[in-house]
Amino acid sequence: MATPSKDAYDAVIIGAGISGLVCGCYLAKAGLKVLIAEQHHKPGGYCTSFRRGRFTFDAAAHCFGGYRKEGITRKAFTDLGIDGKVNITKSDPSDTVITPDHTVSFWSDIQQTVEGFRAVFPEERESIKKFFQFLLNPDPHSFSRMRSWTFQNLLDQYFANDRIKTLLAAPLLGLGGLPPSRMSAFIGSKLVSEFLLDGGYHPDSGMQALPDALSERFKELGGELRLSCLVTKIREKEGEVKGVMIGKGDLLPSRYVISNCDARQTFLTLLGKNKIQEELRGKLASMEPSTSMFIAYLGLDGQSRFFPRPGTNIWFLSHYDLDKAYGAAREGDVDGFGGYMLRLSQDRSTLIALVPAPYKTKRYWLANKKKALECIIKKIENNSIPQLTNCIKYKTAATPQTLRRYTLNYHGASFGWAGTPSQLAVSGFKKPSFVKNLYLTGHWTTQGLGISGVTYVGYDTAQIILRKEKGKIIYSHG
């Protein structure tokens, strides 16, 4: 029999991903009594760093966007008073896309980016400017009109040259896990505007600095953060949440429960299959999660004149067929994918490389992890950094299984649900109608848009709850 603890929380947040932390900070700042329970021993979700000997690696997220003056990440960090507490450097260029015939870069100065694209594709001179202008200042209705469009449809509207379309869409395979033919126009546009036109921000000490700073602030604001604390159930009675169970059965009573874990886990495991409607069960079963990743972590000893610019994300693709690349990635064919993203750390001590990869059994990845790692290293040697092997002091890799194990994201999905047009704006996840005061936040609510995306959702979820609270206060004071 569970014994309710004396003091009930106003809100319990399950998961200390960036979205959970941002949401928690806003709620705590407004005076709510908030607990964040995280199953891992450090906060951050996909935004963490880990050490191996003298090397520090970013685990998955390796930079962030939306940090320009009016960007959402900047807004949240400023509102919460952590702006300036973390030393953040913006790489310039943030991203460079390289194919056998072309190289284009995304610079802090948008004009420089435009000119760079124009030099490679002079015939698309006007379209390049118009396209970036549209992305930076979209009319509020434009994406509603494009709700069923793919990113390919959008690119086709602006450009005639297939090469420029490929160069613009190649990084999205890594940032959103889909080729333009399958990615929604909205998601693709947001990824370009948030990650490529305003990306490349990185805390000097590693990505862990972001969740650490948010955690510190959360505690300063009176919030309680419990690490290595697995929530096992969301308690609900007569259609209203009552709290959460941790471990083997301590009930933590709470007026609101906010889940920063994946939608399947929230509904099927934490709430329980029998508590949810048939329609939602069907939706959960039929919706497609985003692609996972295979990430290589290389600790370097010595320098090479072939090293790329530190901090810049290099997107290499040996061909121009993004559908083929995606098909190979879905099969776990690292060689057939024909590309990678690589990033040398600012201090040139580590290098990470990633490719989209499928969720497969532990056994599969045990048997193939080493092979995939060696294949990526070989490819980087052949295309970007000759004799890289001589500089490698330490190497390891994360498979989709590793990503799942640390974050409990379904199938190690990198970006929540796959960002296809048919899954865009699917309702019912952010605020399920059948359980009062249960909310979801993070990349499983509809849009998977990296750090800036989940920051937005965390902010938005907090605002929705605070608006309700404010209504209550006004009411109780007559």
Partner 1 sequence: MIENIEKDIIAIISDVSGYEPAEIKPETNFFQDLEVDSIKAIEITVAIEKKFKISVRDEDVPKIATVKQAVDLVSKLLEQKKN
Could you give the residue ranges of the DSSP H alpha helices within 34-182?
72-79, 110-120, 125-136, 142-145, 151-158, 162-175
Site string for partner 1, 47-76 (x = CB under 8 A): ------------------------------
CA-based angle 291:342:124, to the nearest 5?
Answer: 85
Q: Binding segment for partner 1 among 204-212, 340-348, 357-365, 427-435 (CB under 8 A)? A: 427-435
* 133 lies in the site for partner 1, by CB under 8 A: no
Of the pair 325, 465, the CB lying nearest partner 1 is at 465
* 433 lies in the site for partner 1, by CB under 8 A: yes
* 198 lies in the site for partner 1, by CB under 8 A: no
* Residue 29 beta carbon to partner 1: minimum distance, rounded to whole angstroms: 18
Peptide bond into 432 cis (omega under 30): no
* 144 lies in the site for partner 1, by CB under 8 A: yes
* 282 lies in the site for partner 1, by CB under 8 A: no
Q: Binding segment for partner 1 among 31-39, 122-130, 134-142, 163-171 (CB under 8 A)? A: 134-142
Answer yes or no: are the C-beta atoms of 349 and 269 closer than 8 Å: no
Selected binder of partner 1 within 140, 247, 302, 478 (CB under 8 A) = 140
Residue closest to 218 by CA, chosen among 34, 387, 349: 34
Q: Binding segment for partner 1 among 17-25, 250-258, 379-387, 464-472 (CB under 8 A)? A: 464-472
* 232 lies in the site for partner 1, by CB under 8 A: no
Of the pair 91, 290, the CB lying nearest partner 1 is at 290
Q: Binding segment for partner 1 among 201-209, 245-253, 322-330, 457-465 (CB under 8 A)? A: 457-465
In this structure, what are the phi and psi dihedrals at residue 158, rounded to the nearest 5 degrees?
Answer: -100, -40
- Distance from C-alpha of 142 to C-alpha of 136, rounded to nearest angstrom: 12
Total residues at the site for partner 1 (CB under 8 A)? 23
In this structure, what are the phi and psi dihedrals at residue 475, rounded to the nearest 5 degrees?
Answer: -60, -45
* 114 lies in the site for partner 1, by CB under 8 A: no
- Residues with Cβ within 8 Å of 33's Cβ and at least 6 positions away in sequence, in order, are 7, 9, 10, 11, 222
CA terminus-to-terminus distance, the chain: 40
Of the pair 22, 60, the CB lying nearest partner 1 is at 22
Site string for partner 1, 148-187 (x = CB under 8 A): --------------------------------------x-
Of the pair 267, 456, the CB lying nearest partner 1 is at 456
- Distance from C-alpha of 50 to C-alpha of 148, rounded to nearest angstrom: 40
Could you give the residue ranges of the DSSP H alpha helices within 247-321?
263-264, 278-286
* 276 lies in the site for partner 1, by CB under 8 A: no
Q: Which residue has the tokens 């033919």?
A: 181
Question: What does the block give as tokens for 20?
Answer: 């959970």
Question: What does the block give as tokens for 330?
Answer: 């879905």
* 371 lies in the site for partner 1, by CB under 8 A: no
Question: What does the block give as tokens for 399?
Answer: 């498979």
Selected binder of partner 1 within 108, 142, 349, 389 (CB under 8 A) = 142
3-state secondary structure of 404: helix
CA-based angle 312:315:321, to the nearest 5?
Answer: 165
* Residue 475 beta carbon to partner 1: minimum distance, rounded to whole angstroms: 10
* Residue 174 beta carbon to partner 1: minimum distance, rounded to whole angstroms: 22
* 6 lies in the site for partner 1, by CB under 8 A: no
* Residue 412 beta carbon to partner 1: minimum distance, rounded to whole angstroms: 25
- Residues with Cβ within 8 Å of 345's Cβ and at least 6 positions away in sequence, in order, are 310, 311, 351
Of the pair 175, 391, the CB lying nearest partner 1 is at 175
- Residues with Cβ within 8 Å of 39's Cβ and at least 6 positions away in sequence, in order, are 15, 228, 229, 230, 231, 408
Question: What does the block give as tokens for 131?
Answer: 């396209």
* 279 lies in the site for partner 1, by CB under 8 A: no
* Residue 325 beta carbon to partner 1: minimum distance, rounded to whole angstroms: 27
* 103 lies in the site for partner 1, by CB under 8 A: no
Answer yes or no: are the C-beta atoms of 244 and 266 closer than 8 Å: no
Selected binder of partner 1 within 136, 366, 367, 425 (CB under 8 A) = 425
Q: Binding segment for partner 1 among 20-28, 90-98, 278-286, 465-473 (CB under 8 A)? A: 465-473
- Distance from C-alpha of 293 to C-alpha of 297, rounded to nearest angstrom: 13
* 424 lies in the site for partner 1, by CB under 8 A: yes
* Residue 471 beta carbon to partner 1: minimum distance, rounded to whole angstroms: 6
Residue closest to 67 by CA, chosen among 186, 174, 214, 193: 193
Count of residues in the chain: 478
Selected binder of partner 1 within 446, 448, 450, 469 (CB under 8 A) = 446
* 452 lies in the site for partner 1, by CB under 8 A: no
Answer yes or no: are the C-beta atoms of 420 and 182 closer than 8 Å: yes
Residues that bind partner 1 (CB under 8 A): 138, 140-145, 147, 186, 424-427, 431, 433, 446-447, 460, 463-464, 467-468, 471
